[in-house]
Each structure stands twice: as structure tokens, then as C-alpha cells.
Structure 1
Amino acid sequence: MVANVKSAPLVRRISLCADDYGISPGVNRGIRDLIERGRLNATSVMVVGPAAGGDEVAALQAAIAKAARCAVGLHVTLSAPFRPLTMHFRPLDGGMFLSFSKLLRAGLFRLLDVEIVQAELVVQLAAFREKFGRNPDFVDGHQHVQLYPQVRDAFLAAVKQEAPSAWIRQAGRTLPLTTRLASPKAFFLDALSAQFRRRASAANITFNPGFAGAYDFSRKPDFGALMQRFLDQLPEGGVIMCHPGFVDETLIGFDPLTVQRESEYAYLAGEDFPRLLAANKVTLS
């Protein structure tokens, strides 16, 4: 008589990516701590950020050396208050990139020069190589600029040319329409991502199958409840973006997202987070 043995439940593998490494020393410190604790398995670096110098890069590499596995990507940055690395980038606003809303509008109305944008992205990829001694594992975008019309063409061309083995981040969700409509911000990213995925597929560039992490930062919600919702909607191999860190003067000067970063850090560093992963049969891999 043969025993009836049940197969073990499948474990869903996902990436939890902390954006904005390089935006401030406090954010960097929080991200490194979570990497060392095994609470993150990806982070993306703003090479134009004020805290992306040699010491901060070395500290990140030391943290990664203590972790089981952590991917490092380039966080392409094309919006204010940051400044371009190329001399002839246009359009600018007082020497800085346009705000993300103005950049999106310029792309929608076909007012951008794709070659100029691509040249900036090539230089940002080269800056990543200079800092880390290799190409990024993946490439995404600050404020999702990689999805914007015209920018996406420059983005895909630059990645294909300079980092062909890297995967790229799309921000579309695999959910029913009625569920997607409940979050206007996430639904807007769904719409932009549909075209982005089609063009990435045509260029034979790999991208993540699912995405989560968008929410209204101004409302300061319970991040643990949000994380459960993010896990509910994420397929195998999907990506959750997060923004943990500590508030400091540099961050306050560069980004309006401040105290919610500390809330995210506190949840991810606490003991409820690994219990949530285990309950949902999810691993960071």
C-alpha cells in the first residue's frame, strides 16, 4: 500500500526593492540596515543623488557582502530637484531637471528630444559602472520616469545598448479592472506600463511580471496592512517597491517623502514582517 503524500505548498519568490539609495545619508543607512537583516533583496541607486559618493557606495557593498542575496540597480533620475550629468540636457528649469509633472506633460506632447534624454541615461549607466565596477542588475526610474512617453524610448534604447543583461521595472499590476480602478495612482501606472511592456518585449528586454508598492504617501497609512495588500496581488517573480530610511536635513531638502520612510523602515525591521511573509508563503529570493 502506497502512502498518500501531499506535496509541500509552493513558496512565492518576490523582490522587495528599496528605491532612492543615494538621496541622503539617512535613507542610505536605513536601507543598508535592512539589507543586512535580510529584509530587502534589492535596492536601486540614484547616481545623481547627493549621497551617492564613494564612501556611501562602499558602505552599500559591505552591507550586500553580509547578505544572502541583494540585487543592485540604477534608479534613473530625470526630475527636479536633481541635476543632469550631461552638459547639454534640455529642457531644464533653473539648471535642474523639470518637475515630474512637467516632464510627463512634455513627453505626452512630444516635446522631448529622445536622443538628448538617451545620452543622459547612457551617462548615468556609465556612472553606475564607475561606482560599482559592473553594470546594474536592473534599471528602474525615480518617480516612474521610465514609463513616460518619449522617455521610455530613450530608456529602452540606453539599457539595450549599455546594460543588455539587466532587467527593467514595469509598474503594471495583474488584477481585475474593478480592483485596479480603486487606486487612481496605481491605475495610472498600469496604463503607462502597458505600452512600456509592449515596447520592452519588442526590444527583447526582460521585465518583472508584476508590481506593487504604489500608495498615497500623504495619508500615512498602516504600512503593515498595505504590505498584506501588496502581497495579495503579486505573482511569482513580482516586485514590491518601498522607500524606507531615516529623515535627515539632506532628505528634507530633496524630497517631500519624509516621515513615511521611517514608518516603512520600522515595519520592515520589526518582527511582524517576517511573520507576514511566512503566513503568505513568500520568500525574498
Structure 2
Amino acid sequence: MNDAAPPRRIWLCADDYGLSPGVNRAIRDLIERGRLNATSVMVVGSAIGRAEITALQAAVASSPRCSIGLHATLTAPFRPLTMHFQPLEGGMFLSLPKLLRWGLLRRLDPEIIQAELMVQLAAFGDLFDRAPEFVDGHQHAQLFPQVRDAFLRAVKQAAPNAWVRQGGRRQPLARRLGMPKALLLDVLSTQFRRRASRADLTFNPGFAGAYDFSQRPDFGTLMGQFLDGLPEDGLIMCHPGFVDETLVSLDPLTDHREHEHAFLASEHFPRLMAANRVTLF
């Protein structure tokens, strides 16, 4: 590597702001420390009141550069903002596996999905008095067949200057075979990128951050792998948080969030970034 080359600039985005008070506090803490430069907000989350938005805006104001985007949400246990959204189970969105299956079978109604996303985009505008700087999707649902078309149309209509998240790393196939989750995201992202390009929407050129949450890997080791080969403008997603009752009731990802926060708040993280000649925007 050429030591004279400038460091690569990347996005490090904390997903799920609005999921729970503990998640919100952890994200704000990292923003204030300068350890994040993006977070995406769930407008259907249980911790998305005015006080939480004001606290986020105050944290961002103290940071040299931090973007706020919409975390479009279409999976259970969350509920739609539109009255006539279908399909539902028990008044909630479908589970992640069912949503993917229905999309693959062409059983979804993209117009209904687009209407829901338009309302979520409008809700973001009401909270922040502006459109989101970027739009991504909870559990990567924006990449699914049929969902992606509705997602891209909604963003193009309501936030045409926002960039959108794709989940492909474009690594050699032999390397991806050992990471089934990352491989699936890469496959789904191929069509997403093509459609986003046709819609003249910008997207991140590289992506990292997916790992098997059923395991307990060392997050510092994972972060080194995420940084390896990530291009300029690439994005790493993360899920820092402090565990609270709300989080436990809504999401199976609990202790991992505290491990992620602990590493990102530590001095090991900036040393790892420097060793890889990577910096945040």
C-alpha cells in the first residue's frame, strides 16, 4: 500500500434509531464521540418522540459530520402507518422470511408498499423539517423483489436527492461462500443497483457489516474484516445499543448491541481505522 495515499473515507451508520431508548442513547453517545457519521431513524419505532429527535439533533450538532436518514421499516413486530396496508399478521407487518418469500413469489402489491413508504418519508419530514439525506431499510427489506421497485419509486418521488443503501460487497465468489448472509445480500443487491441506476439514484459503492448474530464473534475482529477492501464512500452498518426492556420486547439482537457499542467507544476502534488508513467523512 502506498503510505502517501490519502485515507479512504467511509460511512459508518448506526441503524435503528427510534427502536428503544437504550438504542437511542448508545447511538447519540457514539455520535458525540465522533465514532459515527450516520444513523438511520425508524419512524415506526417505539422511541421516536419529539424529545428523542431533539436529543439526536443536539448530538449531531456537536459532531463535525453526521448524516441522518430514514430506516424504512416493513417487517414485524412493527406496524404500518397506513390504514389499509396488506398483508399483515396480527396487525403487524409480515416477518422477514415471509416478506422475502412473498416478494419472490410476486404476491406483494408494490403500490401498497409505496404508499406506506411515502407516509414514512413524510413522517421523517415532519420530525426533522427536511427530507432524509439517505434511505435504507430495516432488515434489508428494501432489496427484496417487488419491495425494491416500490422503495425506489417512493424515494425518487419524495427524496430525489437522497442516496439509497445497497448491500453488495462485490468480493470474489470464493470469499463470499463462507458468509451466506453477505452472499444473499450481494445477490439481492445486483438488481437493486441496476434499478437504482435507472432511476438516477445514488447508492453506496460498497457495503459491509453483516454477520451471523447467532454466533458471538469478536466485534473488533469483524470490524477489521469489514474495513478490508471497502472502497471510498463504502458503508459499514452497525447496531450499537444499551439493552432495555423495550429492546428485549421488540428485537432478538440485544447483547451484541452492547458489544458493538463498547468496541466503537473504545480506543481500539480509532487505532484500527488508522492502521487500515480509513477515516469517516
Q: TM-score scaled by structure 2?
A: 0.99
Secondary structure of 1:188's counterpart equals helix
Per the alignment, residue 255 of structure 1 pairs with: 251
1:198 matches 2:194: yes
- In the alignment of these two chains, the number of paired residues is 280
Per the alignment, residue 217 of structure 1 pairs with: 213
Per the alignment, residue 101 of structure 1 pairs with: 97
Q: Which has the larger radius of gyration?
A: 1
Kindly indicate whether the alpha-carbon contact (under 8 Å) linking 1:19 and 1:241 is maintained by their aligned counterparts in 2.
yes
Secondary structure of 1:73's counterpart equals strand
Per the alignment, residue 20 of structure 1 pairs with: 16
Per the alignment, residue 265 of structure 1 pairs with: 261
Unaligned runs of 5+ in 1: 1-5
Secondary structure of 1:218's counterpart equals coil
Give the AA of the match of 2:22.
G
Say what the alpha-carbon RMSD is for the aligned residues.
0.9
Alignment of 1:55-204 (within 5 A): 55-204=51-200
Moved over 2 A (4+): 6-9
Deviation at 1:220, TM superposition (A): 1.4
Kindly indicate whether the alpha-carbon contact (under 8 Å) linking 2:170 and 2:186 is maintained by their aligned counterparts in 1.
no
Kindly indicate whether the alpha-carbon contact (under 8 Å) linking 1:174 and 1:233 is maintained by their aligned counterparts in 2.
no
Deviation at 1:9, TM superposition (A): 2.2
Secondary structure of 2:214's counterpart equals helix
92 and 177 in structure 1: CA distance in 2 versus 1, 3 angstrom threshold: same
Give the AA of the match of 1:222.
D
Deviation at 1:42, TM superposition (A): 0.3
Secondary structure of 2:225's counterpart equals helix
CA distance in 1, matches of 2:63, 2:47: 22
CA distance in 1, matches of 2:216, 2:38: 24
Give the AA of the match of 1:31.
I
Give the AA of the match of 2:277.
K
Per the alignment, residue 3 of structure 1 pairs with: none
Kindly indicate whether the alpha-carbon contact (under 8 Å) linking 2:18 and 2:45 is maintained by their aligned counterparts in 1.
yes
CA distance in 2, matches of 1:195, 1:114: 16
Instruction: Write out per-residue CA displacement over residues 35-65 of structure 1, whole angstroms, 9 at most, x where no aligned residue.
Output: 0000000000000000011110000000000
Instruction: Write out per-residue CA displacement over residues 115-144 of structure 1, whole angstroms, 9 at most, x where no aligned residue.
Output: 000000000000000000100000000000
Kindly indicate whether the alpha-carbon contact (under 8 Å) linking 2:242 and 2:258 is maintained by their aligned counterparts in 1.
yes
1:232 matches 2:228: yes
Instruction: Write out per-residue CA displacement over residues 224-270 of structure 1, whole angstroms, 9 at most, x where no aligned residue.
Output: 00000000031110000000010000000000000000000000000
Per the alignment, residue 28 of structure 2 pairs with: 32
CA distance in 2, matches of 1:116, 1:217: 31
Deviation at 1:7, TM superposition (A): 8.0
CA distance in 2, matches of 1:16, 1:153: 26
Deviation at 1:10, TM superposition (A): 1.8
CA distance in 2, matches of 1:64, 1:260: 24
CA distance in 2, matches of 1:138, 1:103: 23
CA distance in 1, matches of 2:68, 2:220: 25
Give the AA of the match of 1:54.
R
Kindly indicate whether the alpha-carbon contact (under 8 Å) linking 1:213 and 1:240 is maintained by their aligned counterparts in 2.
yes
